[in-house]
Amino acid sequence: MSNNNNDNDNDKDNNTLDSLPSSGDVADSAAVGPISVNNTTVATPEMHQYLGESHENAFEVDQDGDDTQPTPVSKTAKTGKATKKAKTTKAGKVQKAERDEEDDEGSDSGDTDDDDLEGLLSDMDEDYSESEMEELEALQEELHVRAAQPSMTLANKLAAVGHDFPVTGSVPYSAKLWPLPHGAHAHPNNIRFDRELSGSNDLKRALTYHTIPEFSPFSYIRSNSTAKLFGNEYSILEQYIFIDNGISARPEHIALISVPMINQAFERAKAATAKHHYFALFKHLRFWARLSEQRLLPEELRLDVSSEHIDVPERRNDVVKSRFNGALESWIAYSEEDMEVLMDYSMFWLEKVMPKAKLLKDYLVDTSFAFLSDLIVTRRERIPELEALCTIEIDGKTVMSPRVRTHKKDGLQYYTYSWVTDYGRVLDGIRNSIFILVALVTGARKGELAAMNFSHVSQEANGDYWLAITRWKTAASPKHGEEDRLPLPKFVGDMIRAYEELRSIPPFVKEGWLFQPMRSRKVVNRATPSAITSVIEQLKSILPIERLHCHRFRKTIAEILINRDERNIDIIRALFGHKSYAMTLRYIARNPLMVRSVAIAIEQNYTREFQDIVAGLRLGYSGASAERIYKQIIKRPDEFAGQQLKFTLVTYISHLLEAGEPLFIRRTAVGTYCLSGEHFTPNNLPPCVAGRKIESELIMPDPSNCKIDCKKLVMLSSAKQALTDNIKFYEAVLDKSRPKLAATTEAELLRRISSSEIHLNNLITSGHSTSQQIEARNV
């Protein structure tokens, strides 16, 4: 594209610019059809689903035709060079570890500890508030969205073709199982119709049908997993409305449902032990009523109570409040299926579209078309190479196509090319994909993501990428913030640099914010979280994922690292470029945001277990792990009480993560816990998996096969009865079967009796002394 012949051709074109009309002189024009390039017609196939809705006027360009000469542009911009990189420095050490060492030396650290505790609790409160706010936004969307009228309702479809029309694939509506499509690594989205209550399966089918995205009249329903969840929760509706009132789900009993009956059901659900019943019942009844009002259901299945009598303001406020009071988890990660959708989307833009976009960008720079003041190219002859490069097709569908219009002036025909709007749409897709990766691997919050600039990304001589980030929440100076440097996986760093190059031509250089919109002419002097909100809204409109929020990205990577599920190893490899889980832990250790994010996530999930352990030690303990915890409590009892326990736990977990160590904690039986922070190898297996053939690198204990002689065992006083019962059982087996037992079996039973007696004796002995030394306050 940059050879001498092409340069000469470009010179000829430029020499004739004075005689060319501008598009502003055109009285009438027409769109041009496909052009033949290399004897192949450039067609216009179906637009790719990842483009979402087209906003033709999102990027406005003055349609005044070519300038007589290209607008002067700096050499850096013209050659497509990246913005000057930030100066590379060594990664800073985590200051907190240094403070902890000073504490051990006996320095006066009271103020520091108070600051750390306050900062941590503030972080945790903000963490929960952010997830609560995003969940509230999702609820507002669900509660306020209007129903769209389908071309053919379920009622009309059943009347016209009966119950055997296909719902998914060749599976008919009348089937007892709907196997809805799901991701390759996700759990099946199966919906079963096996209710025993008369008429209940007919009602469940009709309601659940409208939660399948393909058939749903509500735009907030985007995933088959929603239909699966709705099908699973249908039993709540059945219980409180039908079973509790002694009626069936047949049409004659559906007609009996009244407002007082529904209000009584709400009160019972509100008082139920399962906190989510209240919200689920409200959601199902409201959904049923709205479908009935729209006449989408068969008449005999319609609810004769309006949604206004169900969704009254007082009830809605009460239900939403209950959602954030015990029914809502503090964080909900993306599922394996969600992650598969997100990664497929990202790789589509980054690996398939970006290389083709670069070819177009290079051509626009080489021909100087990118530097025309109005970004409109007008020529007497068509430009096959530009049209071919503007035609980006992936998987048989169009991502970008050339915009060519013809017009006449003075009896001569001219061709006008506009590329900037569609190029901006492509850049937005690439931006959204990079956002997904950066949000997953950095652990940054919405405000921190919004403030990321190309100048913040640096690369060291060894190829490592670093991202400079300003943290305002924990900074000593609220005016200047506190800078951290986070590691970036090489693939992510490379993609950011490639994206920066694509944006190195006008009008996309802009202010250098990584996630600012490309199809807006607004100058962004100060980045705000609204830029991230815009990205999220675009992803919501395209991807079949429920509750797609910024907060869930860092929680998802935290869950992957906590659970170490073998199914997620491919995700870790794709995101971090690491061959092993241990390498990922070492990467996490260098990222203070990720350390804190994972530590808080673990704390939120396992504090109850730790609280049980700390409280239980007061009454007695047994096991090497229990002994270590006990010694720490005796050494610093104040750190294991009340809010301070959260601080202690997160600090402990943070140190493990900073050292590249895993954490595993599970309840195995009454009064018994498995507590481990060790890397296991095939040559160093815990007793619960000893003897098994394990090929996975992610070796974890098996709580279901807990061995009483394991060093990872924490046993508390509540296990006394179980130990006593075990001893009696093993002794009875020996007494009754001793002559028949093999020597090895007898030895194993004796070993188990001995281990149980040792633990029981430890619990009794430690229970007398420990209670005098430990006060488990506010636990």
Give domain status of residue 356, yes or no: no
Q: What is the pLDDT of residue 75?
A: 36
The pLDDT, as a whole number, for residue 616 is: 65
Q: Is residue 764 part of a domain?
A: yes
Last residue of a domain, one of 293, 328, 363: 328
Last residue of a domain, one of 304, 328, 352: 328
Based on the structure, what is the number of domains in the chain? 2
Report the pLDDT value the prediction gives residue 368, as an integer from 0 to 100: 95
Q: Which domain holds residue 738?
A: 609-631+659-773
pLDDT at position 202 over 90 = yes
CA distance linking residue 527 with residue 530, whole number of Å: 8
- The stretch 642-671 carries a mean pLDDT of 56
Mean pLDDT of 412-424: 94
Whole-number percent of the chain with pLDDT over 70:
62
Examine the fold and report which residue of 311, 328, 345 is the final residue of a domain before the chain moves on: 328
Rounded to 10 deg, the angle between the 313-323 and 259-270 helix axes is: 20
In a domain, 206, yes or no: yes
Whole-number pLDDT of residue 351: 93
Q: How far is CA 182 from CA 205, 213, 635, in A?
A: 19, 13, 52
Is residue 203 predicted with pLDDT exceeding 90?
A: yes
Spatial separation of the C-alpha atoms in residues 169 and 179, rounded to whole Å: 9
The residues facing 725 across adjacent strands are none
Mean pLDDT (the chain) is 74
Lowest pLDDT segment from 109-113, 603-607, 748-752: 109-113
Tens digits of residue pLDDT in 107-154: 444 454 455 545 544 555 555 555 555 555 666 666 667 777 788 889
pTM: 0.57
pLDDT tens string 344-395: 899 999 999 999 999 999 999 999 999 998 999 999 999 999 999 999 999 8
DSSP for residue 213:
T
Judge whether 170 and 585 are in contact, CB under 8 Å. no
In a domain, 355, yes or no: no
Q: How confident is the model at residue 49, as a pLDDT?
A: 73
589 token code pair: 């250790």
The answer on pLDDT for 539 being more than 80 is yes
The reported pLDDT for the residue numbered 761 is 85
The answer as to whether 584 is a domain residue is: no
H or E element: which one contains 448? helix 446-450
* Cβ atoms within 10 Å of 350's Cβ, excluding its own: 22
Higher pLDDT, 649 or 177: 177
Does residue 738 register a pLDDT over 90?
Answer: no
Q: How many CB atoms lie under 10 A from the CB of residue 644?
A: 18
Quote the pLDDT of residue 714: 78
More confident residue, 1 or 172: 172
Residue 43 is predicted with a pLDDT of 45
Residue 533 located in a structural domain: no
- pLDDT, greater one: 514 or 696: 514
Q: Is residue 473 a contact partner of residue 123, using CB atoms and an 8 Å limit?
A: yes
> How many other CB atoms are there within 10 angstroms of residue 489's CB atom?
22
pLDDT above 50 (res 100): no
Q: Choose between 92 and 736: higher pLDDT.
A: 736
**Winning range, highest mean pLDDT, from 146-155, 181-190, 198-207:** 198-207
Residue 362 lies in a domain: no
Is the confidence at residue 91, as pLDDT, over 70?
A: no
Residue 20 reports pLDDT greater than 70 = no
Q: Which stretch of 372-376, 505-509, 610-614 has the lowest confidence by average pLDDT?
A: 610-614
Kind and range of the H or E element at 417? strand 412-418
Is residue 635 over pLDDT 60?
A: yes
Q: Which two tokens stand for residue 420?
A: 């900037």
Any domain includes 183 = yes
Q: What pLDDT sits at residue 290?
A: 92
pLDDT band of 58, cuts 50, 70, 90: very low
- pLDDT the model gives residue 69: 36
**Tens digits of residue pLDDT in 517-534:** 888 778 888 888 889 988
Residues 6+ away with beta carbon under 8 Å from 377: 66, 369, 383, 386, 416, 417, 419
